[in-house]
Structure 1
């Protein structure tokens, strides 16, 4: 047998033309470089003539003669809708479905993940796999960082290529929106500690696609439940980020009236005020603060309206015969998920009141009004059942209460809860929140207000 460096081997390699399509490279034949499909692929009926710089693993005819290595097994599985996926892609999809997707919401029975869409859309599949691989790399430390960076950059190249087409249908735009949102959450949750994190860029890209679809409400109402859930989380992270960065939100405050139960990231338990109502009030307060900064006269009636709207609510049992449900029912008020979801609502209400007093009224954080809501917010978070996923989505109230905490026991409670949330999520955003809180506790005084506390907030970190 001739060695790989023998003259015979070199002559055989020269049969291919630089820049050949992948089918011609695999067959080691001369390609005429014709676009979009070369003459040989047309003649042989090959449907996947591609000139991509990287061989895309989801092609129907993957390379047949790639040497096997211990790190990469390229055997093909057809378990997902009878579509060919390389083992590394199948592993990434399974990891995303089983480990990552349940972390995106507090719902006991979550909306199905975007796997079916990923099998139809290359950008979504790439974004999904990159998200899974990068999150898994935080635990296993098995992937080289430059490999992960290259995959992320190639995913961006595919997305930009499709966005650059002259005519893009609404369905394709929606798929691209899902891909960009996955990258946005990847950067804000997993890669936020990196110097090159691009969370704001992905947020701007997602907003541009939403505008092209007709605005947030049109995009939300015309999408499926999975996309709506991602959009509700996008709007939520934009709201919390706007509050901490002291800016306006990207979307009108009216969008929270369009949020439908069952199509959002939070559970919708029985109660007087849903989380959408609470978040809508917080968005209105953010707009009010920016109006006052720009010269609008402060209005005491508005302040009192915000305070009334955010008063913590407690559901009451109905004893009518028609409303009685058997013990153990999904809608039982004392169900762990329902009780924890009500506690989540209250924790956001207390966080909103802290924002009202500290950011809008500029009351110092040692004031009893603020400290009583710090205590109540932490009590609400402590009351959440640790067996549910609800506590994982209480990072923003925990962040707000922790930043305004001045007593040792309150700070210890915040750190304990952060450890629990990080153990569940394994998101770098939780570590970044902890670092920021420790910095706040060291550098601020008891007379600090909201702007003083969050002036150095990291722009790439997402909290919800």
Structure 2
């Protein structure tokens, strides 16, 4: 039998592969592309947008729906975009967008905005491609190559920034695109040389300030998508500020206003007589970070301020009132309320952040060592609360910050194994590179003597581009 003719050469550039012609492999631009005027690229990474993900992908990504809930046997098409782009949007909507919210029913995804505004479309497709590569290339899932889609997205963002004055609606839309770039680099591409999480954070903050500040944006927000993304942006800004021992970008007063709209966390269920909202905890944590910044270089602490933080952060319970004795039936919960109390993971979720905030208070502000009994009592309580959270619940995927802080302050091998088990469980659900970085950071902390290390020195091994939520 005659030998089958090979139309392409291994390692060919992408234009030659697509045209099925022989590439001479000349870098950075081959002669065929130079002669034909094509854009030569050897760095593009192919992502297989097949209907069925790889077998290693979790069941959550093996769903049977595509864009906007349309069955796969009746795919939705949009004449403005290609088939691969529609598949990327479908993957983003079904597999990525729900990961950033603990609520059972996430707010609608920004697909319509993406179809109308190219920078948002490119940022979403880039995020989907990066996440898909992370799943297909386990265990590392990383690449040092900068994709063409990412370059196009950055180029379009810069191009629109130069002409936003002619259209007042451009800047809020650009904010959405920049926030998706921030999320992609901070959670998925954080280990790559091309990651620019800090630059995207600076750019997003500059746009927010140019639009009148976060409080104004929250008050005037008419869409769930920007509001939800701003809640992620503010939360990750706060957690990184706490880990880096710096002040967050936004004031404490924004958190209660933030919770009036769509946020990534689930609010306390009605009828639950105890617990605190996550917004209130974030408000206190922001105040503590600001106080910590104000006392740097000073020798004496304000003990009244410390006690005020303690009092506000202690897990709260209802107290006895005279009418409880006169009319005991007045405090009875309905069957639905009891069901919420027994089934909801929201209270335990908030408590993990309460205990983490108290660990920060004693370690960063008061300067107590890691083995101090005030620190360890909240480490133990937080570990118990983490164990009470169902690994299959959505809130379990958003306790990375408490798991990381508590994990850095435990000393027994059995507890370290419990923390690793939780991190691996979250990694299996999210497939974020940031979790690999956090796991390595904890293993490095455990391998060193850290009793006398300061709060900031304890987390110095975490990469600067990693986001923790």
User: Fold conserved (TM > 0.5)?
Assistant: yes
Q: Does residue 234 of structure 1 match 2:233?
A: yes
- TM-score w.r.t. length of structure 2: 0.77
Contact 1:261 1:268 in 2 (8 A): no
Are 2:280 and 1:277 aligned? yes
Cα distance 1:387–1:145, how it changes in 2: closer, same or farther (>3 A)?
closer
Matches of 2:460 and 2:255 in 1, distance apart?
Answer: 27
Structure 2 Cα separation of the partners of residues 168 and 246 of structure 1: 41
Q: What aligned pairs does 1:374-393 form with structure 2 within 5 A after superposition? A: 374-393=379-398
Is 2:100 the counterpart of 1:92? Answer: no
Distance 1:284 1:141, change over 3 A: same
CA contact (8 A) 2:77 2:83 kept: no
CA deviation vs aligned residue, 1:359-411 (integer Å, no higher than 9, x gap): 11111001111111111111111111222110100000000000111122221
Task: Give yes or no for the alignment of 1:115 onto 2:107.
Answer: no
CA contact (8 A) 1:444 1:453 kept: no
Q: Does 1:176 align with 2:183?
A: no
Q: Cα–Cα, structure 1 residues 268 and 168, in superposed 2: closer, same or farther, change >3 Å? A: farther
Q: Is it true that 1:156 corresponds to 2:163 in the alignment?
A: no
Q: Distance in 1 between matches of 2:373 and 2:237?
A: 29
Deviations 1:326-349 (A, max 9, x none): 54x8x942353x2x1111100000
Report the counterpart of residue 437 of structure 1 in structure 2. Answer: 442
Distance 1:72 1:226, change over 3 A: closer
Counterpart pick for 2:406 among 369, 380, 401: 401
CA distance in 2, matches of 1:421, 1:297: 41
Aligned residue for 2:123?
Answer: 127
Say how many residue pairs are matched: 394
Select which of 216, 219, 244 maps to 1:218: 216
1:457 aligns with 2:452: no
SS for the counterpart of 2:253 is helix
CA-to-partner distance for each residue in 1:99-137, whole Å, 9 max, x for gaps?
A: 101110111111111111111111111101100011001
Decide whether the 8 Å contact of 1:190 with 1:429 is kept in 2. Answer: yes
Residue equivalent to 1:185: 183
Q: Unaligned regions of 5+ residues in structure 2, if any?
A: 1-38, 41-45, 51-69
Higher mean C-alpha displacement, 122-131 vs 380-389 = 380-389
Query: What's the TM-score once normalised by structure 1's chain length?
Result: 0.78
Q: Give the Cα–Cα distance (whole angstroms) in 1 for the partners of residues 49 and 406 of structure 2.
A: 46
Q: Deviations over 1:398-455 (max 9, x none)?
A: 0000011112222111111011000000000111000001111112332333123123
CA contact (8 A) 1:375 1:410 kept: no
* Unpaired segments ≥5 residues, structure 1: 1-52, 55-68
Q: 1:251-274 CA distances to partner (integer Å, 9 max, x unpaired)?
A: 112111211245111000134420
Residues of 2 paired with 1:246 and 1:363: CA distance?
15
1:421 to 423, 426, 435: 426
Equivalent in the alignment of 2:363: 358
Contact 2:370–2:451 (8 Å) recurs in 1: yes
Aligned residues of 2:77 and 2:86 also touching (Cα < 8 A): no
Deviation, structure 1 residue 144 = 11
